[in-house]
Amino acid sequence: MASTTNSSLPKGWPAIVLFGDSITEGEYLISHCPAPRIWHYDSGYSLGAVLTEKFSRRIQVLERGFSGYNSSNARVVVDDVIPPAGGAIDLKLLLVFFGANDAVLPPDQQIVSEEQAQKGVMVVSQHVDIEEYKVHLRAIAQHKNVKDHGAKVVLVTPPPICEHKILPWKDRRSAVAKQYAEAAISVAEETGVEVLKLWHVFMEEAGWKEGEPLLGEIGVPKSEKLGELLSDGLHLTPKGYKLYFESLVKLLENKLPDIYNHKRIFPNWGEAPRYQKPDN
C-alpha cells in the first residue's frame, strides 16, 4: 500500500505555537505548582499534553506562556516567539491568548484594603487600554513572520471573571472581561483570522444567556457552574482546561480542517525507509 505521508521536512517541523499569559503557561501542569494561589490543584489533566497527543507525529505543540504578561508585553517578545520562516519550524497555527491581564482595572480604580495599605502594598497594574489592546492583537495576528509562514491564527478571548473568588486582590471585573472578549472578537473579524470565543463558551456552560444578569459579578448570586471552571476566579480548573480543549478542537475541525486533518509527516514503520550502508 502506498504511503500517504511525507518522508522529509522541506520547510521544517510543522508546529502549533501557544502564545499567551499564565493561563497558557499552566496548560502543561498536571500536578501541584509552587504558586498555589494561581494553580492550586492536583489534576491529572493537562491541556498541553492532550493537545500534543492529538497532533502526535503530525504537528508539534510549543508552549510560549508568560505569567503576568499583557498584550503590550507580548508585542516586545513576539519576534522571539514567532521564528522567521525557512528555519527548523514550519508554523502552521498560532494561538494568541491575551487579554486577561490587559483587563485588570487601572491603578486609580483598584481597591487596596487597610491591611494591605499598612503593609505598604502598592498597586502595580497590568492594565492596557482596550483600544491599545486591539492594536497589539492586530499587530501580532498580522506579524510578518506569521504571513511568511503562511500560518493560520486563532485569537482566544479572555475568559470570564468570577468576582466572588478573586482574592486577595479586587482588581478584576466580570463586565470588563466581557468588554475585552468582545474587543478580541472584533479584531479577529477585522483581520480575517479565527477566534475562539472562550468567554462565551464558559458562560454558556454556566447556563448564562444574553440579557440576563452577568454571572460572576458580586451583585449576582455566585454561579457554582462558573466556579467549577475557574480556580481562583481567573485561572482555569482542570474542567475549564478540558472545556477549552474541546472547544478548540471543534473550531479546528470546523474552521481549519487542513490543520485538524494534518497528515503524519513520516511514514508508518512498515513503510519507513531503512538506513543503507554506503558502498565505500
* 196 has a pLDDT exceeding 60: yes
- Give the single-character DSSP code of 105: P
CATH number of the domain at 13-160+171-199+239-260, out of 3.40.50.1110, 3.30.43.10, 3.40.30.10, 3.40.50.300?
3.40.50.1110
Residue type, 115: E
- Please write the tens of the pLDDT for every residue from 56-85: 999 999 999 999 999 999 999 999 999 999
* Cell (9 digits) for 202: 464558559
| Res 35: pLDDT | 44
Q: Where in the chain are the domains?
A: 13-160+171-199+239-260
Q: Hey, how many other C-beta atoms are within 10 angstroms of the C-beta on 81?
A: 18
Q: Which of 121, 159, 139 is nearest to 237 (CA)?
A: 159
- Please write the tens of the pLDDT for every residue from 248-263: 999 999 999 999 999 9
